[in-house]
Amino acid sequence: MNQPSARRRRTGYLFCLPGMAFLALFLAYPLLYNVWTSVHDVDLGQLLGGAERFNGLDNYRTVADDPAFWHSVRLSLVFTLGSLLLQFTIGFALALLFARPFPFNGLLRSLLLVAWLLPPVVSGTLFRWMLDAESGAYNALFQAVGLSGLSHDWLTDPSTSMAGVVFANVWVGVPFNMLLLLVGLHTIDPELHEAAAIDGASAGQRFRHITLPLMRPVSVTVLLLGLLYTFKVFDLVFVMTGGGPVDATRVLSLYVYEVFFSFFRFGQGAAAGLLLLVVPLLAGVWYVRRLRREDEAPAGGAV
Amino acid sequence: MRPPRHPWLWTVIATLITAVFLLPVYWMVKTSLTRPDRILRPDPQWAPSPVTGENYSTALGYEGLTRALFNSLVISCGVVALTLLLGVPLAYALARIRMRGSGTMVLALLVAQLPPAIVLAAPLFILERRAGLTGTYLGLIAADTTLTLPFTVIVLRPVMRSMSPELEEAALVDGCGLPGVLLRVVLPLMVPGVVAAAGLSFLIGWGEFLFGLTLGEGPDVQPVTVLLNAFIGQHGTSWGALMATATLISIPVVCVFAVFQRFIVGGLTAGSVRG
């Protein structure tokens, strides 16, 4: 190459500088500042006056002693596991359907994606209305098909509001799961299925012994992305229930929001928020290491 | 491959499933077109009759809705501009130029996608407030760009890698500097990738809520997502106007997706499956 490589490299660094500097300033620095806040006594007055006092692990202790915190951790687990399980299963079934060639396949698939693309605030508002007690469409639908036992004031009853927000979140997540799993299904060599069929394997056997094992790497990816996304969901739940009724849907992200922006207990909010940071980071690190290992393997199984 | 049996049967099944799945979206549009006195009924109508624009005029009559729509437009266009301005050169350098630290930067960009917005919103609130950035477009655009920039670079880098380097080298031999190569040779070739990144950034900026809620003080810069949420509290029972507002917010999303669909789906799967 004509251009001296030292100069080329210098230009390269110049190209990287603005973007990386921006992320350092608006992403890395705030996150580090959050760590700093978590070991200081900071409230709204001190924020403006700038008289924060170092208080060691006090904020962490306060958070750990707060039953509402552990309640929200449990709710986050229920919300995340419930969403993951349902959206993956439904997404997988839809991917199997859409893996077949049929007329208007692409169009219908794109239409499904609309659910995933809508702003979460819109989906939240929408499901508030769909699940409404008196005039919600789902209750009317249940009655129309003779399942009036299922008609219910889903979101204002503490024992069912979690089911309501999980339902909405699954609705949002299904198209994305389907899309990624479909990409995975397309990488499976159809000759494998044909050969097995000739050998007399039934559709169920082929699914269990060919499709499922070959879909494992993609499935791990999809579940992990689902975990990362679901664990941090805020807007959808906030709009649908605001964490209520009686805290029944106050997942961790809403708890952190409340401590921080309603009570202005910045130090405790920062301390609780770190848990919300640590879980995705651990999952992410595990995932990147796993990808690296697969890259080194001679025949990469991942998509 | 065997010729598929009963292809139309599968079309019918898939259509039914899609219809059931998209019922909420239909219901949103349907409610927005139904006369207010016919919405809250124990036996809802499945189609609006008569169709009315009343809810839309009510919604647009709410104080601040047009302003909020305008704000969202400014913010999402700003997010697109800032993301591309910072992201394209970054992705190009990481794709094409051998540098020490490239690997670390790519890893950092992957990790940058992990923090939940709420963990970032809290310190950003303090820091932007001190810097006088809360309640400004810039403050919101910058916050939203922390979501779009890492994603954009991760999507664009493989696209740039897959291009043959010969054209760039020829341009370099002809005495064109690296910035010139990027602008005149690389960018035109990767229009689909850039369009996908721009489309996704727009969608993220348009739908963003939490930063708008925490950093967008006052109606001057508040995005329409925040206003919709406020409406639920204030006008909780006027579902018609709420659904009209929700439909208005969804229209740009569906349009952007319809136009850039192919690119967006491609970028999406590329970015997330092989991030």
pLDDT digits (tens, 9 = 90+) for A216-229: 989 999 999 999 89
Which residue in the set B44, B109, B254 is minimally distant from A135, CB to CB? B44
CB within 8 Å of B153: residues ≥ 6 apart: A19, B87, B90, B91, B94, B109
B268 Cα to chain A: minimum distance (Å): 9
How many whole angstroms separate alpha carbon B163 and alpha carbon B190? 8
Q: How confident is the model at residue A302 (pLDDT cuts 50, 70, 90)?
A: very low
Are A224 and A177 spatial neighbours (Cβ–Cβ below 8 Å)? Answer: no
Q: Which residue does chain B place closest to A98, by CA atoms? A: B14
Q: Is the CB of residue B137 less than 8 Å away from at least one CB of chain A?
A: no
The tens digit of pLDDT for each residue in A97-121 reads: 999 999 999 999 999 999 999 999 9
B192 Cα to chain A: minimum distance (Å): 18
Q: How confident is the model at residue A65 (pLDDT cuts 50, 70, 90)?
A: very high
Residue with tokens 């879980």: A279
Tokens of A156: 């204002």
Put simply, the answer to whether B116 touches A118 (Cβ < 8 Å) is no
pLDDT of residue B193 exceeding 90, the answer is no
Which of B17, B82, B118, B264 is most worth mutating to test chain A (most A CB atoms within 10 A of its CB)? B118
- Supply the pTM of this predicted model: 0.91
Q: How confident is the model at residue B150 (pLDDT cuts 50, 70, 90)?
A: very high
Q: Which residue does chain A place closest to B275, by CA atoms? A: A288
* Residue B167 or A107, more confident: A107
Put simply, the answer to whether A15 touches B90 (Cβ < 8 Å) is yes
- Mean of pLDDT values over A164-193: 94
How many whole angstroms separate alpha carbon B198 and alpha carbon B148? 9
A202 Cα to chain B: minimum distance (Å): 16
Are B117 and B161 spatial neighbours (Cβ–Cβ below 8 Å)? Answer: no
Cα A46 to chain center, whole Å?
Answer: 35
Q: How confident is the model at residue A122 (pLDDT cuts 50, 70, 90)?
A: very high
Which helix (H) or strand (E) covers residue B233, if one does?
Answer: helix B224-234
Which of B114, B145, B262, B263 is most worth mutating to test chain A (most A CB atoms within 10 A of its CB)? B114
A259 Cα to chain B: minimum distance (Å): 10
Put simply, the answer to whether B22 touches A15 (Cβ < 8 Å) is no
Residues in chain B: 275
Q: What is the pLDDT of residue B273?
A: 40
Residue B241's identity, in one-letter code, is A
B75 Cα to chain A: minimum distance (Å): 15
Q: What is the pLDDT of residue B275?
A: 30
Put simply, the answer to whether B261 touches A235 (Cβ < 8 Å) is no
Put simply, the answer to whether B143 touches A26 (Cβ < 8 Å) is yes
Which residue in the set B25, B87, B122 is minimally distant from A260, CB to CB? B122
CA angle A77, A79, A81 (to 5 degrees): 65
How many whole angstroms separate alpha carbon A259 and alpha carbon A244? 15
Highest mean pLDDT among A30-44, A200-214, B75-89, B149-163: B75-89
pLDDT of residue A156 exceeding 80, the answer is yes
Contacts with B240 from chain A: Cβ below 8 Å = none
How many whole angstroms separate alpha carbon A243 and alpha carbon A259? 13
Q: What is the pLDDT of residue A299?
A: 39
Where are the alpha helices (H) located in chain A, listed in sequence order?
Answer: 5-23, 29-38, 44-49, 58-64, 67-98, 105-117, 120-130, 137-144, 161-186, 190-198, 203-206, 212-231, 235-240, 252-257, 266-296
Q: What is the pLDDT of residue A291?
A: 77
How many whole angstroms separate alpha carbon A2 and alpha carbon A115? 51
Average pLDDT, chain A: 89
Are A142 and A151 spatial neighbours (Cβ–Cβ below 8 Å)? Answer: yes
Are B129 and B222 spatial neighbours (Cβ–Cβ below 8 Å)? Answer: no
How many whole angstroms separate alpha carbon A152 and alpha carbon A156? 9
Q: What is the pLDDT of residue B3?
A: 57
Q: Is the CB of residue B5 less than 8 Å away from at least one CB of chain A?
A: no
Contacts with B84 from chain A: Cβ below 8 Å = none
Q: Which residues pair with A54 in a beta bridge?
A: A40
ipTM of this complex: 0.91
Q: How confident is the model at residue B176 (pLDDT cuts 50, 70, 90)?
A: confident
B23 Cα to chain A: minimum distance (Å): 9
